[in-house]
């Protein structure tokens, strides 16, 4: 499950397109060996906050540049879609209330990219997936 908030900034100094949104994702992972970090990751629910550029029905993101942050939320022995939806709702509430671990991770992402979120009267755009 994911949602987007409008944002501004650049992913890197030489990026051709500026950041237009911040993508917030919650998903279940079976865990195991991570081929990039060579670490054994736990099975459970994960969150990911990424700066993206959305234009003409396409989404562009920087892979491996350190702009996105992925973090473990809670252990789960198997996929429970209802629990993933509850965690997603909690993440969304934390972002809107400017509290919790999700808000702290968002601040780290914004610090890395030099971006800022425009939260004014704009409601987050939810996307199933």
The parent domain of residue 78 ranges over: 2-114
Q: What is the pLDDT of residues 23-43, one digit of tens each?
A: 999 999 999 998 888 999 999
121 belongs to a structural domain: no
What pLDDT was estimated at residue 128?
Answer: 47
Q: Minimal CA–CA distance to 47: which of 102, 98, 6?
A: 102
Best CA proximity match to 12, nearest among 120, 118, 112, 116: 112
Average pLDDT over residues 8-18: 64
Decide if 125 is inside a domain. Answer: no
Q: Is the pLDDT of residue 76 over 80?
A: yes
Instruction: For residues 33 and 51, give the distance between their C-alpha atoms in angstroms, rounded to a whole number.
Output: 25
pLDDT at 46: 96
Evaluate whether residue 96 is within a structural domain. Answer: yes
Query: Does residue 21 register a pLDDT over 80?
Result: yes
- Is the entire prediction scored with pTM above 0.85? no
What would the DSSP string read from start to end of 17-57? S---EEEEEEEEE--EE-TTT--EEPSEEEEEEEEEEEETT
Q: Assess if residue 47 is contained within a domain.
A: yes
Kindly state whether residue 11 falls inside one of the protein's structural domains: yes
Q: Is residue 77 part of a domain?
A: yes
Question: What are the helix (H) ranges across the chain?
Answer: 81-97, 100-113
Tell me 78's DSSP state.
S
Q: Please check whether residue 43 lies inside any domain of the structure.
A: yes
8 Å CB contact between 35 and 69: no
**Count of domains for the chain:** 1
pLDDT for residue 4 is more than 60: yes
For the chain, give the mean pLDDT.
83
Separation CA 49–CA 41 (nearest Å): 18
């Amino acid at each position: 499950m994911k949602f987007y908030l409008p944002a501004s900034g650049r992913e890197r100094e030489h990026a051709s397109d500026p950041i237009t949104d911040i993508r917030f994702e919650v998903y279940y992972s079976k865990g195991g060996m991570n081929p990039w970090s060579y670490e054994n990751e736990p099975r459970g629910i994960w969150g990911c906050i990424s700066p993206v550029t959305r234009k003409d029905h396409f989404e562009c993101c920087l892979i491996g540049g350190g702009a996105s942050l992925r973090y473990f939320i809670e252990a789960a022995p198997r996929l429970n879609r209802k629990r993933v939806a509850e965690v997603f709702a909690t993440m969304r509430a934390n972002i809107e209330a400017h509290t919790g671990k999700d808000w702290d991770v968002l601040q780290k992402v914004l610090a890395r990219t030099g971006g800022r979120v425009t939260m004014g009267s704009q409601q987050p755009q939810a996307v199933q997936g």
